[in-house]
């Protein structure tokens, strides 16, 4: 390539009027008569390699034989060692991975919006959008939107419930009352125990108090029954069955069922359903027969002891195993209290 000559004539027609344009690396000369163009090397540039050193580069726009960078710019020979450099990228003319850095991008940044909160059920699962919007058309700008949220486990019952309390089920001497007392201590606040058997004990005490041999106070007699329930167990069961035969919900109706109540003796299916419908936590206490017998109560073949035995364990919010030391039961009570304080199911 020739060095720029301001007095050069057109090599094709010999016309003397030639224009010059600088386009990045070389000078482009153009004849004003025939329109022929050619390139010349600027005076301040390094030596361009001779034609016999040039290699074919498919990235050049014109397809001429010339060493070129990946960006399309022709390389120049620099220094006594005659190494190549790109006017834009220096010696990185083989690094095609840098092409992305040179790609022009929009100068208008996209606005950044905070992520929308994901609606969730009280159990923690993300809600699914169900239904489609129905528009009223010409009747007005309003529309009827049937789109609604559903939980994959609880359906449309996904809003957090103000759980009324805790209902505990289990056989006699399985540790229901002990667990209830532990939960009251660990939950604190206004959590308290309300027992279904309190009303049974009260009615039995009133019935016994009316007999001549019981000449002491009613409160004393109720305390005596509570302290010796094993001695009065069959009488309590008989009275309970008698009232349940008249009305299955008789004892439930006698229960105050205040907020944050812990019921330590849920024994029948209708009682379980009653507490479940009122969003109580349901706890099942399991204990081996030989351990319960060692605690002073053998297995009794009575519906109050067996009716809920066939309920699948997954229908209970918590299942507690009380076959070991008391501290293990207390540890389980602490875990349950932590979950309940967070307002969630297990």
Q: What is the pTM of this model?
A: 0.52
CATH number of the domain within which 180 lies: 3.40.50.300
Residues 167 and 310 in one domain: yes
Q: Do 168 and 305 have their domain in common?
A: yes
DSSP string, 186-230: HH-TT-EE--HHHHHHHHHHHHHHTSTT--S-HHHHHHHHHHTHH
Q: With CA atoms as reference, report the closest residue to 277 among 164, 148, 197, 195.
A: 164
Residues 147 and 171 in one domain: no
Between CA 49 and CA 53 the distance in angstroms is 6
Last residue of a domain, which of 65, 97, 129? 97
Tell me, yes or no, whether 184 and 326 share the same domain.
yes
Considering the domain architecture, whether residues 172 and 273 belong to the same structural domain is answered as yes
**Residue 130, pLDDT score:** 81
- 252/269 Cα distance (integer angstroms): 12
Q: Are residues 188 and 306 in the same domain?
A: yes
Instruction: Specify if 105 maps to a domain.
Output: no
Asked if the structure places residue 306 within a domain, the reply is: yes
Could you tell me if residue 26 is inside a domain? Answer: yes
Domain membership of residue 113 (yes or no) is: no
Q: Are 51 and 179 contained in the same domain?
A: no
Domain count across the chain: 4
Parallel, antiparallel, or unpaired: how do β-strands 165-170 and 143-145 relate? unpaired
Q: What is the distance between the alpha carbons of residues 87 and 74, in angstroms, rounded to a whole number?
A: 8
> What is the structure's pLDDT at 181?
96
Instruction: State how far Cα 34 lies from the chain centre.
Output: 75
Which among 226, 164, 160 has a CA at the least distance from the CA of 191?
164
Phi and psi angles of residue 45, each rounded to the nearest 5 degrees, phi first: -95, 160
Distance CA 217, CA 223 (A): 10
Co-location of 232 and 274 in the same domain: no
pLDDT of residue 81: 54
Asked which of 238, 254, 270 is the last residue of a domain, the reply is: 254
**Last residue of one domain, picked from the residues 254, 271, 287:** 254
Are the beta carbons of 157 and 151 closer than 8 angstroms? yes
**Directed axis angle between helix 326-341 and helix 176-187, to 10°?**
50
Cα 22 to Cα 200, 265, 270: the distances in Å are: 107, 97, 95
pLDDT one digit per residue (tens) for the chain, 346 residues? 777 788 888 888 888 888 887 766 678 888 888 888 888 877 766 544 443 344 444 443 344 445 677 677 777 777 655 577 888 877 776 654 444 444 444 445 544 545 557 787 766 678 888 866 554 444 444 445 556 788 887 677 776 555 679 999 999 999 999 999 999 999 998 899 999 988 998 898 888 877 765 666 777 878 888 888 778 888 888 998 999 999 999 999 999 888 899 999 999 999 999 999 888 999 999 999 999 988 887 777 888 889 999 999 999 999 999 998 999 999 999 999 998 887 665 5
pLDDT at 11: 85
Please check whether residues 273 and 325 belong to one and the same domain. yes
**Domain-embedded: residue 234:** yes
One domain, residues 142 and 127: yes
Query: Hey, CA dihedral for 276, 282, 285, 286, is it positive or negative?
Result: positive
**270 and 124 within one domain:** no
- Measured in whole angstroms, the distance separating CA 293 from the mean position of its chain's CA atoms is 45
- pLDDT for the residue numbered 64: 43
Residues 136 and 202 in one domain: no
Instruction: Using the structure block, give the residue that is written with the tokens 């009133």.
Output: 206
CA distance 239 to 197: 11
DSSP for 273-334?
HHHHHTT-EEEEEE--HHHHHHTT-----SHHHHTTTTS-GGGSSEEEE-SS-HHHHHHHHH
Share in percent of the chain as helix, strand, coil (round to 5): 30, 20, 50
Residue 77: domain span: 18-97
């Amino acid at each position: 390539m020739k060095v720029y000559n301001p007095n050069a004539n057109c090599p094709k027609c010999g016309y003397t009027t030639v224009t010059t344009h600088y386009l990045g690396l070389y000078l482009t000369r153009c004849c004003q008569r025939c329109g022929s163009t050619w390139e010349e090397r600027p005076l301040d540039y390094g030596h361009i390699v001779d034609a016999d050193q040039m290699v074919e580069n498919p990235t050049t726009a014109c397809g001429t034989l010339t060493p070129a960078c990946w960006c399309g710019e022709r390389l120049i020979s620099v220094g006594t060692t005659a190494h190549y450099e790109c006017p834009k990228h220096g010696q990185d003319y083989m690094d095609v991975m840098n092409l992305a850095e040179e790609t022009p991008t929009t100068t208008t940044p996209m606005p950044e919006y905070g992520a929308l909160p994901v609606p969730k059920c009280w159990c923690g699962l993300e809600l699914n959008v169900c239904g489609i919007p129905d528009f009223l058309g010409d009747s007005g700008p309003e529309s009827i939107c049937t789109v609604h949220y559903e939980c994959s486990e609880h359906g449309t019952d996904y809003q957090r419930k103000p759980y009324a309390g805790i209902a505990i089920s289990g056989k006699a001497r399985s540790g229901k009352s002990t667990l209830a007392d532990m939960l009251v201590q660990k939950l604190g606040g206004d959590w308290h125990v309300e027992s279904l058997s309190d009303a049974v004990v009260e009615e039995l005490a009133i019935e016994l108090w009316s007999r001549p041999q019981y000449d002491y106070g009613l409160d004393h007699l109720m305390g005596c029954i509570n302290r010796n329930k094993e001695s009065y167990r069959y009488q309590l069961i008989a009275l309970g069955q008698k009232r349940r035969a008249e009305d299955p919900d008789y004892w439930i109706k006698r229960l105050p069922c205040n907020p944050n109540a812990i019921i330590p003796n849920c024994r029948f299916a209708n009682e379980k359903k009653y507490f479940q419908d009122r969003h109580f936590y349901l706890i099942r206490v399991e204990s081996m027969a030989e351990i319960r017998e060692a605690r002073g109560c053998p297995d009794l073949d009575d519906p109050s002891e067996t009716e809920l035995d066939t309920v699948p364990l997954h229908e209970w919010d918590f299942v507690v195993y009380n076959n070991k030391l008391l501290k293990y039961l207390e540890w389980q009570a602490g875990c349950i209290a932590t979950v309940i304080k967070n307002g969630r199911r297990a």
